[in-house]
A and B are shown apart, each in its own frame.
Chain A
Amino acid sequence: MDDRLVKALAHADYRQTLGIERQRLKDKAHAELVIGYCGGIFTVDRTLIGFVNSIKEYGSAVILDDNGYPIEIENLEDFQARVIGTYFEVTNRYLTDYNEIKQKRTAAKLVDL
């Protein structure tokens, strides 16, 4: 096979595996950003963090969860701590994993072969 084609196919394999790894890490982070709290299911994102920050002074509130059901949050301060704690923990881990795969320059290394 033409050497140019061999190199191109090797690079294509690498880009494909890298793309799958990136998508997998993204899916994993999104899954880890989901928390159960006071009976509801909440996806932690920037919108939720901003919203909770803006209503924290009320002490308690009813917040709609991911499924649109009203969940009574009796302690907004505790909820805020859980939300922000989860966000930092997950995104920091995501960054570490993301940087790790950026260092790997072959398809085999990306999947630990």
Chain B
Amino acid sequence: MNRGCCIFAFDGDIDYGPQAVLAANLVKKHLNIPVSLITDTDTLEKIDTTIFDKTIITSVDNRDNSRILSGKNIAFKNVNRNKIYDLTPYDRTLLIDSDFLIFSNRLKEYLDSGYNFMICENMKDLCPNRSGSNFSFSPQSLHMLWATNIIFNKTPENKILFDLVDHIRENWAWYGTLYQFDTRRFRNDYAFTVACHIMGGLGAEKYYVALPSPILFNDRDSLVKITNTGLTWVAGDQNILVKTKDQDIHMMNKIELLEKIQALDRLYD
């Protein structure tokens, strides 16, 4: 069974290409597996693709899916994530967002396991009294899973799941009413959460096995120092000091990530 990592990158209001290059370099350094980029021609033209074992060109879905990030309205081109099942060149795929930065070999243990579908169930927020990473659609509904990183095998069952995500996206308002989530924009996290719930026999059992929890930094957190011995952050409105070292990070502040990308690039040399 061949295995590898896939990263989606479609430039919009934010350049995802450079983020994908950084993420790919970190995957190679810490997990030592091949990495493929799934992108469009516009994004591809702007980046050095030598780190990628394969680049897979696909059409971008331009449906409006914007949200406020760091005070700006940012358009996201992320509604075709479920196409990964058909696009991936691997039998066993680690799918990560381009803002998911791997600084440990933890996921290797999970890649080595025999489970067919694994998804991130929780993220750690180091700031006290902040619970943004532990989120339920509503008190009566589901705990949200994070589609930021997923490991899956190409199996007929998983094909049904990825097709189901597409169906959920097409019927977003209906599923939003049923599962009581905010439908103002499409979120892969929500779609995969609902799909896993349905695939698990409508909650009869877990369809997935949980991946390890990375550390979550949101758009109010700033990365202030980058060295080989760790990253230093100022987090939240209270300017709480936090350090990370050898731990995987989901850096939701994509604007900050782009600003610091040259310094971060030096970490995989």
Which residues of A line the B interface, CB within 8 A? 13, 16-17, 19-21, 23-24, 27-28, 31-32, 34-41, 67, 107-108, 110-113
Q: Is residue B87 within 8 Å, beta carbon to beta carbon, of the partner chain?
A: no
| Chain B residues whose C-beta falls within 8 Å of the C-beta of A20 in the assembled complex | 126-128, 240-242
With contacts A20-B242, A23-B126 taken as known, whether A28 is within 8 angstroms of B247 at the C-beta atoms is yes
Q: Annotate B87-130 by CB proximity to A: 1 below 8 A, 0 otherwise.
A: 00000000000000000101011111111000000001011100
**A32 and B126 contact, CB distance less than 8 A:** no
**A41 and B244 contact, CB distance less than 8 A:** no
**A31 and B209 contact, CB distance less than 8 A:** no
Q: Which of A17, A34, A112 meets B240, CB within 8 Å?
A: A17
| Chain B residues whose C-beta falls within 8 Å of the C-beta of A27 in the assembled complex | 124, 213, 247
Inter-chain residue pair count (beta carbon < 8 A): 78
**B225 and A113 contact, CB distance less than 8 A:** yes
Q: Is residue B203 within 8 Å, beta carbon to beta carbon, of the partner chain?
A: no
Beyond known contacts A24-B247, A34-B106, A36-B109: 8 more, CB 8 A cutoff: A16-B240, A24-B242, A31-B213, A35-B109, A39-B114, A41-B109, A112-B225, A112-B243
With contacts A31-B247, A112-B232, A113-B225 taken as known, whether A36 is within 8 angstroms of B241 at the C-beta atoms is no
Q: How many residues of B contact A (CB 8 A)?
A: 33
Q: How far is the CA of A19 from the CA of B269 in the complex (A)?
A: 32
**B126 and A24 contact, CB distance less than 8 A:** yes
| Chain A residues whose C-beta falls within 8 Å of the C-beta of B212 in the assembled complex | 31, 34
**A28 and B246 contact, CB distance less than 8 A:** yes
Q: How far is the CA of A32 from the CA of B107 in the complex (A)?
A: 10
Distance to closest chain A CB from B74 (angstroms)? 29
Q: Which of B106, B227, B241 meets A32, CB within 8 Å?
A: B106
Q: How far is the CA of A31 from the CA of B248 in the complex (A)?
A: 11
Distance to closest chain B CB from A27 (angstroms)? 6
Pick the most buried of A31, A107, A110: most chain B CB atoms within 10 A of its CB: A31
**B209 and A67 contact, CB distance less than 8 A:** yes
Closest 5 CB pairs of A and B: A39-B114, A36-B112, A36-B109, A111-B243, A36-B113
**B115 and A41 contact, CB distance less than 8 A:** yes
Q: How far is the CA of A23 from the CA of B244 in the complex (A)?
A: 11
Q: How far is the CA of A36 from the CA of B112 in the complex (A)?
A: 6
Q: How far is the CA of A38 from the CA of B109 in the complex (A)?
A: 11
Please, could you name 20 A-B residue pairs with CB atoms under 8 Å apart, sorted by A? A17-B241, A17-B242, A20-B126, A24-B126, A24-B242, A24-B243, A24-B244, A28-B246, A28-B247, A32-B104, A35-B109, A36-B108, A36-B110, A39-B114, A40-B114, A41-B109, A41-B113, A67-B115, A112-B225, A112-B232
Q: How far is the CA of A38 from the CA of B110 in the complex (A)?
A: 11
| Chain B residues whose C-beta falls within 8 Å of the C-beta of A113 in the assembled complex | 224-225, 232, 241
Distance to closest chain B CB from A103 (angstroms)? 15
Distance to closest chain B CB from A31 (angstroms)? 5
Distance to closest chain B CB from A113 (angstroms)? 6
Q: Is residue B230 within 8 Å, beta carbon to beta carbon, of the partner chain?
A: yes
| Chain B residues whose C-beta falls within 8 Å of the C-beta of A108 in the assembled complex | 241
Q: Is residue B229 within 8 Å, beta carbon to beta carbon, of the partner chain?
A: yes
| Chain B residues whose C-beta falls within 8 Å of the C-beta of A107 in the assembled complex | 241
